[in-house]
């Protein structure tokens, strides 16, 4: 199993920055690191044995942030994705590829999905602990 990993401060900073980026109606998705649950267990309890119990009803293997069904609406920017609204705002041009900060995004491939399992950035056990130390400052 995998999960995304973000500090509270990073989440707040992302939201505040998106107030400057937004046109209105779009969904912002940060590009953040992932962790493997086994690495999380090793980081927090390195001396304890790990017992794999399998997936429980209702649990997901990975967190999905940009579903494949919305790939036709998804734009990729350097540090985030934008899922564009499906409604037309008649008072706006509806070009979400250029945001309020002048950052340019490009359409993702049809069927693209961003989830914690296919994320290119995974934290190792040392990085998980460093990340947590940073979060508690």
The total domain count for the chain is: 1
Identify which of 51, 9, 56 has the alpha carbon closest to the alpha carbon of residue 32: 9
**SS3 of residue 19 by DSSP:** helix
For residues 113 and 71, the answer to whether their CB atoms sit within 8 Å is yes
Angle at 48 (CA atoms; ends 45, 51), nearest 5 degrees: 110
In the chain, the percentage of residues whose pLDDT exceeds 90 is 83
Identify which of 76, 60, 58, 77 has the alpha carbon closest to the alpha carbon of residue 113: 76
For residues 33 and 5, the answer to whether their CB atoms sit within 8 Å is yes
Task: Tally Cβ neighbours within 10 Å of residue 108.
Answer: 19
Confidence of residue 39 (pLDDT cuts 50, 70, 90): very high
Identify which of 76, 70, 90 has the alpha carbon closest to the alpha carbon of residue 120: 76
Strand bridging mode 34-36 / 106-107: unpaired
Q: Rounded to a whole number, what is the distance in angstroms from the first to the last CA of the chain?
A: 28
Quote the pTM value.
0.89
CATH number at residue 27: 3.40.50.720
pLDDT at 97: 95
What is the extent of the structural domain holding 101?
2-135
pLDDT in tens, 75-127: 999 999 999 998 877 766 778 999 999 999 999 999 999 999 999 999 999 99
């Amino acid at each position: 199993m995998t999960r995304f990993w973000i500090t509270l401060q990073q989440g707040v900073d992302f939201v505040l920055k998106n107030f400057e980026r937004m046109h209105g109606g779009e969904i912002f998705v940060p590009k953040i690191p992932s962790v493997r649950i086994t690495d999380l267990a090793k980081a927090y309890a390195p001396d304890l044995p790990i017992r794999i119990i399998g997936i429980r009803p209702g649990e997901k293997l990975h967190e999905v942030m940009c579903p494949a069904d919305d790939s036709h609406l998804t734009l990729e920017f350097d540090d985030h994705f934008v899922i564009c609204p499906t409604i037309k705002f008649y008072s706006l041009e509806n070009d979400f590829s250029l945001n309020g900060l002048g950052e340019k995004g490009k359409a993702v491939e049809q069927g693209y999905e961003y989830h914690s399992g296919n994320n290119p950035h995974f934290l190792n056990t040392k990085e998980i602990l460093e990340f947590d130390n940073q979060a508690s400052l």
